[in-house]
Structures are given as C-alpha cells and as structure tokens.
Amino acid sequence: MAGQSKDSVELDFKQMMDRIMDAILILNDEKIVYSNKAANQLLSFDEQASLCGLSIGIFVNPSSMPLVRTALDKITFCHSDREAIQLTIHAGNNLEIPADLFLCPLHDEDRSLIQLTVRDISEQKAAEESFIQSERLSVIGELSAGIIHEIRNPLTSIKGFLQLMQSSGHLNRDYLTIMLREIEQIEKITTELLYFTKQKNEQFTIIDMNRIAAESLQLFEAHSKKQNITLHLQLNHEPHCVKGDRTQLKQVFVNLIKNAFEASPANGEITVRLASSDQWIEVDVQDTGSGIPEHLFDHLGKSFFTTKVTGTGLGLMVTYTIVKHHKGIISVSSEENKGTTFHLRFPKAVAEKNNVD
C-alpha cells in the first residue's frame, strides 16, 4: 500500500488476522513466527499469549510430526500449493483436540513462510460419534426385536405342548417331535447370531476361491444324493485369487449353497461358477428353485428377513456382512419358478508363488 510504512502495514495485517475466526499460524520452517488471537486461544487458552518463537512440534504428537514435515517440505520446495492433514493437537491443560490442518505458501522479501490454518473439529467428531452410536443402538434395537420375535414363537409352541402333556398325564411322541424341531430352530438362531457377537480372529491372506468353492460343494454331496439334486462347479481352469479370511469366505459359499438347496425341488440343479476380469473375481451361485419376487430383492440381507417358512434371514445377513467386509459386491437376479442366482464380485488379488491358501 503506497505511502504506508512497513510498521503500519504489519499492524494492518495483524488486525486483519485477529478478526479471523480460524486459528492461523505463520511458520518459518517449523518455528512459529506469528499467531493470531484465535490460535493463541485454541492452543494456550489465552488469546493474548503469543506463540511466537515456539516450535509447531510442541503441539503435535511425535508420531504425527513426519506427516507435518512432509507437508511443509512439499510447500517449501514448490511441490504443492496446498496441503491438508487431520491429526490430534496438544492444547493447554494437557487437552488433546482433533483438528484439520491446512498449509499454503506465504512469501515475503527474504524468506519463505508457510501459513498454517488450524480448525478445531471436536464438535464435528462428537457429532459423528453420536451418529455412529445412534446407528448402533438402532441396529441393536432392530436385532433385539427380531430375536425376541423369532425365539418367542417356538418357545410358545414348546410351552403349549408341555402344558397339553401335563394335563393329559401321558407322553405324546408327536408333540415331542414338534418340540424338538422348535428347539432346533432356536439353536439355529443362536448359532447364526454368534457371528455378530464373538471375537473374530480373522487373517487376510491370498486365497484361491477355486479351492473354497470345491470344498464347500463337497460338504453337500451326501445331501445332493438324498434330494437328487445335481451339483455343478465351473472354474474355467485358472486361479481366482482374492485377499480375505478363508473361514469367512467359506461361510459365504456354504450359506448360499444351503439356501439354494432349501429353495430347490427334487431333480433340481445347483451351479457354482467362477470367472475373472481385469479387476474382479466373479462368483455366481445359481439354483433352479422357486425364485424370489423382484420386489423383495432390496430386503435381502436385512436382519430376520426371509422368504422361507422356517428361516431366520440371519444366514443371508451374515453373508452380506462378510462380502461387504471383503470390499465385495453382492446382487441377485431371479425368476419365479425358474430359479435364483446370487452374483458376487471381489477385488482381484495377485497370486504370489507359494503364497496362496
């Protein structure tokens, strides 16, 4: 500004910076050479306490300093005009504050300076945590309501038949058969719920899905002979590798094949088909069963939704959860009275020699 002294310009600059709500620091290397009132308040809880002469490292965890130094270097050596970092900063009274840091160059006549803007995101983080907790409670509430409903029905039947036998004074084997079936239903629900409650010691390795598909189908060979259902495995003679947990992925195949059996009539067919594209491993599990109406597709994988009379829906819920956890995609196509196909896609992994499970 023409006619103004350097001191006057500097004063105008400081007054302008002090009116800004964001905490702003100006750094020379890692040294603070200027801090506005908002920065003083955020980092020392005293807007009049200048931070000049201090190192930015005082307010950053040592483990996070490499990130800060990398960003400073990019700005200093003109590799970037703007850098953003999210980390925890140390403020006065030993408080730790989650913050967004924005860095950009600020040049004067004889040295290269960097402007660092610090934004306290404590409220944003608290809102996010509150939303996540609310979602968790919502899921727990929905799941609990479903569990109560699904377990109360068989318990009511068991109680009723016990009361009938008690009043009649003799054992009724037909009643016992029905009661045993209802107990098995409760056992099925609790077993499937264990997936969501037990600690999962998962180990992600490179896995050839061909082996898992073959092993899973083998488990149903006796069942297929009993129901006279033909099993097909189509692999196109090449490995189909993904990165994942072997036990969980096998559970996906077992759940889908089991569902296919329950939907298929005698003399039906079940086909497991694997193929590869440039980025994906594609898996189809196809049956020739009764099919699923299209308007129900969006409900599949939700807790306690099922199209089966004695089903719980938890098997598919587990399947959808595992596929999502492996960064996969699951969809379904179906035609009533002709069959259903579950389509799965997983990110393709590069198989290393002697390193495939």
- Per-residue pLDDT at 170: 86
pTM exceeding the 0.75 threshold for the entire prediction: no
Round to whole Å and give the CA distance between 80 and 84.
11
**pLDDT, average across residues 328-353:** 85
- Per-residue pLDDT at 300: 67
Which of the four pLDDT bands, split at 50, 70 and 90, describes residue 85? very high
Question: Does 251 have pLDDT greater than 90?
Answer: no
DSSP 267: T
Q: Class of 6-120 per CATH?
A: alpha beta
Structure tokens at 68: 């800060």
Question: Does 43 have pLDDT greater than 60?
Answer: yes
Round to whole Å and give the CA distance between 44 and 62.
19
Q: Where are the beta strands (DSSP E) in the chain?
A: 23-28, 31-35, 83-90, 96-107, 112-120, 204-208, 230-234, 241-245, 269-276, 280-287, 329-335, 339-347
Examine domains 126-197 and 204-347 and report if their fold is the same.
Answer: no
Domain ranges of the chain: 6-120, 126-197, 204-347
**pLDDT, average across residues 192-208:** 69
Question: Does 353 have pLDDT greater than 60?
Answer: no
Closest CA to 283 of 348, 353, 218, 351: 348
Question: Does 247 have pLDDT greater than 60?
Answer: yes
Architecture of 204-347 per CATH? 2-Layer Sandwich (3.30)
Using left for φ > 0, alpha for ψ between -120 and 50, and beta otherwise, residue 302 falls in beta
Contact 268, 257 (CB under 8 A): no
Angle between helices 173-197 and 122-168 (to 10 degrees): 170
- Per-residue pLDDT at 135: 67
Please tell me the number of Cα atoms within 13 Å of 263 on its side-chain side. 28
CATH number of 126-197: 1.10.287.130
Which of the four pLDDT bands, split at 50, 70 and 90, describes residue 233? very high
**pLDDT, average across residues 193-208:** 70
Round to whole Å and give the CA distance between 122 and 341.
47
- Per-residue pLDDT at 310: 46
Lowest average pLDDT, out of 61-75, 121-135, 220-234, goes to: 121-135
Whose tokens are 């660092």? That residue is 116
Which of the four pLDDT bands, split at 50, 70 and 90, describes residue 1? very low
Report how far apart, in Å, the C-alpha atoms of 88 and of each of 99, 100, 278 are.
Answer: 6, 9, 40
Amino acid symbol at 134: S
pLDDT 10s digits, 269-313: 999 999 998 899 999 999 988 787 766 656 565 554 455 544 445
Q: What is the mean pLDDT of the chain?
A: 80
**Positive/negative CA dihedral, 61, 64, 65, 68:** negative
